[in-house]
Structure 1
Amino acid sequence: MDRRIDGLRVLACLMVVLLHVSSSHIHEFGPKWWSANVWDGLSRACVPLFFMLSGSTLLGRSESLTDFFRKRALRILPPLLLWSCFYLWWLWHNNAPTGNWLLAILRGPTMFHLWYFYAIAGLYLFMPVMRRFYQYSTQQEKIFFLVTWFLVASVYPTVQSLYTDVQCGRAGLLGDVYQLQYFGGYLGYLVLGAYLAERRIAWQKGAALFAVSSVGTILLTYWLSKRLGMPCEFFHLYLTPLVVLAAAGAFIAFLGQPAAPSSAGLQWLSGCTLGVYGLHPFVIDRLLISRGWMNSTGWVWIDPLIGTAAVFLVSLAVIGAIRLIKPLRWMV
């Protein structure tokens, strides 16, 4: 595997953990709000990067429909069922109503972060069609798709949402009247990842784009929160323009470096990321929240980094141990 792909996957996983560790103080103004806003703003590209990595590694492949769905089902369904049941057990253990577990899983995520498994499963269903488009389209057609997606799924809904109550990410007029919802959602991230993976763009440009876009997200979040008189995470949403640009920048920063095979250690880390993603909210709760270690030093800018490192390493140790048992490896 390419070290750039594996490295970016590990970074995206770390950003997810940082996002969930630091976000506890984003909902109320106070001495910790600015640090939460900064760390959140710097880590918001995390899930889009996972989508882009899927697009970069899958859209260019050629395989039968049967092979594609067999591989993707084995990749997604076992972890989805494992973590859904695990968190249903955890809710039950804490006396929360869970109802029928099968129906609960079918209805949607049983824990907030598991939405990603449902989203990627839906995108995989459309992947064979997108493969045909991507592999046989010209560069001009790919750019047309990406520009249209960016305008319809990101720019227009963001502008619209600033003046209405319509949720960002919905096409609104463009979807309801002009039927441009076909360019909506996270689908564009798949194409964006595949397209950028084929370009040779200097990594410095990607790093600069990430930095500028992330700072823009942080400042706009402050501006909107100040304007509303209450904290508002609107500009942290995954389809807002600056988050799209930040994800593109981070992707370019990694893919713009020379290609080389991954080391054994990096491959192992990359292989653990899906399991770490599934486990880390439980570790945050048991390691940081229940023990009162969210603010271990009292330094508002440092505690989220310490917490992130601790949660990531503990989750990694658990997942790494599970992966030593071959029958369980495919579950995580």
Structure 2
Amino acid sequence: MKKHWHYIDFLRVLACFLVIANHTVKDSFIGYNMDFSATLGMAYLTFSKIAVPIFLMISGALLFEREEDYLSVWKKRILPLAAVIILFSLFVYIFIEKREFSLISWVASMIHEPAFVAYWYLYTLMGIYVMLPILQKLVHALKETDFKYLLTIWFVIMACLPFLGAWHLFPFVSPYFVLPVLTPEIGFLFLGYYLTHIQENRKSIRFYAIVLCVTMILCYFYNIFETKHFGSFTLLLDRACVWSSVILAICVFQIVYQLYETKTLSIKFNQIMYYIGETTFGIYLIHGITLWLCIPIQTYLLNIGNRLLGVVLYSFVIFAFSYILVRLLAIIPLFKRLFHVRGSRRLLENE
């Protein structure tokens, strides 16, 4: 039996929760007074931006481990993902937007833009799957020095220079200067594979914890400075591929990876993470619908006194509600397959 990587389950659950946090924090603080709660909320938002990087790093760690032929990728990945996009776009079009159905209009709208803003990730994932067989061959031909060169270039040019350019500390790079093959998303895929399969000399958990804390402190004070400088939030850190998101994602990935490598966490905890982790794709798909259904709960929680506490509680409510819905829908074979829910199993200690 192929070894199951328990740390992936934990990262999936964390990233899924942070996706929900990202979609609840911003609207809860933008436009409100910059009190202590709001500045902490913006730091929370900054940390939540690691959700997509973590998901992409997981994909890189798992997808680049193998080589798949073109027919297999289309059959097992591209067509099922297309079915998910079609089904959920149709649901939003008819039941949430309540538009009069027109096949041409619906197809055009689905191709043009995601039904929910959060579904942009499905379109990105579709593009990755289309190129996956080529990327797998490319990754397996690279040496450790190649990865270090590629990731350094990616971090400097894509994660740092745009941020510096926004502050006029570095000229904006010409749009004609592009990095063939390398995109922000592909960079995270390479990073996940490198950290899992290539990197040998890792720093200690304490080192990554210190870097994480220092980065969060910098982000906290930066958000305050940005607000005072511009008069409002401009959210230059509100991006998946920016220096803060990359550093935080690496630290979280490394800490979780090493915690599991040293068998710090219990078997029971691993079982719980596996059971929740297999529902994260489904939670991601329906959390937008859950947010729409739970607006009265959001209004109540944001007015309980402490807005930050209300936002955190609301994120947990949405996560829990979405999890329950996924488990209920997964009783139906179609949704079980769409959500990639395989059913729980006993995780053995020697697995």
Residue 82 of structure 2 aligns with an amino acid whose one-letter code is L
Q: 2:118 aligns with which of 113, 124, 132?
A: 113
- The one-letter code sitting in structure 2 at the alignment partner of 1:245 is I
Counterpart of 1:61 in structure 2 is 66
Cα 1:195–1:75 shift into 2, 3 Å: farther
What per-residue deviation string (whole Å, max 9, x for no partner) do you get for residues 186-213 of structure 1?
1100000100112353333333333332
* Residue-by-residue CA offset, 1:296-316 (whole Å, 9 max, x unaligned): 522123111211111111110
Q: CA deviation at 1:264?
A: 4.4
Question: SS state of the match for residue 236, structure 1?
Answer: coil
The answer to whether the Cα contact below 8 Å between 1:148 and 1:183 also exists between their aligned partners in 2 is no
State the match for 1:7 in structure 2: 10
How far apart, in 2, do the equivalents of 1:90 and 1:230 lie? 36
The Cα offsets for residues 93-127 of structure 1, whole Å up to 9 and x where unpaired, read as 389x9981111111121111110101111122222
Post-superposition Cα deviations, 1:143-178, rounded to whole Å, max 9, x if no partner, equal 1111111122111222123239x9xxxx832x514x
Q: Is the 8 A contact 2:40 2:220 kept in 1?
A: no
Q: TM-score, normalised by structure 1?
A: 0.88
Instruction: Give the residue type in structure 2 aligned to 1:92.
Output: E
**Aligned mates of 2:215, 2:296 — CA distance in 1:** 31
Give the residue type in structure 2 aligned to 1:143: K
Q: Which whole-Å CA distance do the structure 2 matches of 1:94 and 1:23 have between them?
A: 28
Distance 2:20 2:299 in 1: 18
Cα displacement (A) at 1:276: 0.8
Residue 42 of structure 1 contacts residue 215 of structure 1 at CA under 8 Å; is this kept in 2?
no
Equivalent runs, 1:151-230 vs 2, <5 Å: 151-163=156-168, 172-173=173-174, 175-177=175-177, 179-180=178-179, 182-198=181-197, 199-200=199-200, 201=202, 202-230=204-232
What secondary structure does 2:83 align onto? helix
Instruction: Give CA-to-partner distance per residue, 1:65-99, whole Å, 9 cap, x none.
Output: 2222322225522322232222223442389x998
Q: Secondary structure at the match of 2:308?
A: coil
Deviation at residue 44 of structure 1 after TM alignment = 1.3
Unaligned runs of 5+ in 2: 340-351
Instruction: Tell me, in whole angstroms, the C-alpha distance in 2 between the residues paired with 1:264 and 1:256.
Output: 18
Give the structure-2-normalised TM-score.
Answer: 0.84
Residues 1:306 and 2:307 are matched in the alignment: no
Any idea what SS the aligned residue of 1:258 has?
helix
CA shift digits 1:32-86 (9 cap, x unpaired): 5324212202211111111111001111212322222322225522322232222
CA contact under 8 A between 2:39 and 2:223: conserved in structure 1? no
Distance 1:113 1:257, change over 3 A: same
> What amino acid is the match of 1:287?
C
RMSD: 2.7
The whole-number CA distance in structure 1 between the counterparts of 2:305 and 2:242 is: 32
The answer for the alignment partner of 2:278 in structure 1 is: 271
Tell me: CA distance 1:121–1:49, structure 2 relative to 1, closer, same or farther (3 Å): same
SS of corresponding position for 1:121: helix
Aligned to 1:123: 128
Q: 1:252 maps to which residue?
A: 254
Gap regions ≥5 residues in structure 1: none
Residues 29, 230 of structure 1: 8 Å contact kept: no
1:93 and 2:94 aligned:
no
Could you tell which deviates more after superposition, 183-192 or 73-82?
73-82
Kindly tell me the number of residue pairs found equivalent between the two proteins.
Answer: 325
Aligned to 1:285: 292
